[in-house]
Structure 1
C-alpha cells in the first residue's frame, strides 16, 4: 500500500508500509535524542509509572508521520490511546519511548517502537535506538538493521550467553513464575549471564545476535511495547513462545524469545523449576 507523504518528504512520493514504519520510528527517535539530558516535565500515570515531555513529543512526531501517510488507519499510542476508526483493519501500535525510567535517569538504553497490525498479524515493524543511530526493522518476512542508510540482515546467535530478563511488574503468573527467581537459579548462572536492560530494545538485540534470549512475564497481545520486537524476532528466525513454551499469546502468556532451539529448551527447563 502506498500513499503520498507531503510532510515527510519535500516532494510527493510513494512510501511502503515498511518504509513508513522506519520513517515514523526515526522521527520519534530524533525527538528522544534531541531532548535527552534536559529537565523534563513528568506526567504521572500510576504509582511508579510516568511519562515525560519527551514521550509526548516523540509520540506526536510519530503520529504526524503515520496520519499524513495513512489517514484511514487506526493508531494505538502508549500516551494518547486509540485514535481513528474502531472498524479499521489496519492499526499502528506506537511506543514512543520504551525505557522511560532509564531515560529520565539519563541512561541511553531506550527504544522507539512502531508496528502495523493488519488482521491478526503484525506485518511490518521498526524499533529505533536513538543513541546508536540504528533502526531494527522487518517487512514481515525478513529482519534487518539500518545504519547510515544501509541495511544489514539480522542473524540471531546464542554465542554471547547473555539473557535479558524483564523484572518490571506486573507479574500475572506469580507465585508460579517470577522472573527475579530465575536470576538466582544455579543452572541459569552456570549456563547464562543475566542482564536487565529495562527496555524492549533488548528484544531486538536477540534478533541481531547481541543477546542469546529474552524472558518476560505478562500478557503481551497487541502490546505497544513488545509488538515490534516480537515481529523482528519472528522474521529473523528466533524461537518465540509463551513463558512455558506454549504458542505465543495463549494460556498463561509471557514471552521467551531465544536465538536457537537449544537455548530456548534450556530456559524452559529452568523456568519450570
Structure 2
C-alpha cells in the first residue's frame, strides 16, 4: 500500500514536486482500493475504454491539485481540460495507465501526474512505490524513505509497447524490432502495456523502453515518465534519434548511451 497523501488542508504549503507526489499517491490509493471489484466500463470507441475507477482516481488527483494550485489548469485523460483558459501552468494527468491490465486483474498500472515542463510523479499502486522528480533529480519513495534512481542496462530487459495504433508502419513496426537478430543477441523483450515501464528504466529494472507514436512530450500518458527518465540521466529521444517533441516521433528511452545507440541502429535497420 502507498502511504496516504498529505492532508488537503496543508496542500497549499507544498512545493510543486510535493504536489505532484501527493496527487499521484491520492490517485494510487483509489486504484488500489478499487482492485478486484466489479468495474463499470465507459466505452471510448475503437476498442478503448475507461472504468469508473479511472474517473474516481482522476477526481482524487484533481482534489489535490485544486487545493494546492487552484489557479492552474489540468488536462486529464478522462475529464479533458479543466480550469481557466488563461492559466499559465497546466498539469497533465493520466489517472490509470494500463486500464486494460487493471480491468482483467493484472497489477501492472501507473498513475501519472506532471506539471508541464516541471516536476512530475508516477505511482505504482500495487508495488507501493512513488517515483518523482523536481526536474533536476529523480528519486523513489518506498516505505516512507526516499532513494535516488540509478538507471542501468544490466537486466538487458527492453519493454516494447505493442499496442496500436502504429503510425510509423510500415517503416517501423515494433514486431520487426523484436525479430531483429541483434535484438535477440543483446536483449530480452518484455511487454507491460503501461508507462510504469518508463519508471522501471529510470530505476534500473529495465534497460530500455520503446514505443511508436507522434510527439509524446506533452502527452498525459508519457509526460511524467519522460520527465522522470531525463532527470534520472537516461537517454531520451524519439525513434529517429531526434529530441522528444515536435521534431521526434515515438519514444526510445535507454539506461545509457551504449544501449540507446544499439537499439537506435536496430530501429533504423528494421
- Please give the TM-score of this superposition, normalised by the length of structure 1: 0.94
For 2:19 and 2:114, locate their aligned partners in 1 and report how far apart those are by CA, in whole Å.
10
Aligned twin of 1:18: 17
Aligned twin of 1:151: 146
For 2:112 and 2:243, locate their aligned partners in 1 and report how far apart those are by CA, in whole Å.
23
For 2:29 and 2:135, locate their aligned partners in 1 and report how far apart those are by CA, in whole Å.
25
Say what the alpha-carbon RMSD is for the aligned residues.
1.3
SS at match of 1:123: coil
Q: CA deviation at 1:171?
A: 1.4
- Is 2:16 the partner of 1:47? no
Aligned twin of 1:266: 262
Aligned twin of 1:179: 174
SS at match of 1:137: strand
Q: Is this contact kept in 1: 2:158–2:207, CA < 8 A?
A: yes
Encode CA deviations 1:12-53: one digit per residue, 9 max, x unaligned.
Answer: 761111001010000000000000000100000012100001
Encode CA deviations 1:83-127: one digit per residue, 9 max, x unaligned.
Answer: 11222111000000000000001000000000001xxxx210000
SS at match of 1:39: coil
Higher mean C-alpha displacement, 251-260 vs 55-64 = 251-260
Count residues in correspondence.
263
The answer for unaligned runs of 5 or more in structure 1 is 1-6
Encode CA deviations 1:145-192: one digit per residue, 9 max, x unaligned.
Answer: 001221100010000000000011121111100112111111111110
For 1:68 and 1:269, locate their aligned partners in 2 and report how far apart those are by CA, in whole Å.
47
Q: Is this contact kept in 2: 1:173–1:252, CA < 8 A?
A: no
Q: Is this contact kept in 1: 2:112–2:224, CA < 8 A?
A: yes
For 1:62 and 1:13, locate their aligned partners in 2 and report how far apart those are by CA, in whole Å.
15
SS at match of 1:59: helix
For 1:176 and 1:24, locate their aligned partners in 2 and report how far apart those are by CA, in whole Å.
39
Q: CA deviation at 1:10?
A: 5.1
Q: CA deviation at 1:249?
A: 1.4
User: Runs in 1 of length 4+ with deviation above 2 angstroms?
Assistant: 7-13
Encode CA deviations 1:213-260: one digit per residue, 9 max, x unaligned.
Answer: 000011213100100000000000000001011111133511100000
SS at match of 1:31: helix
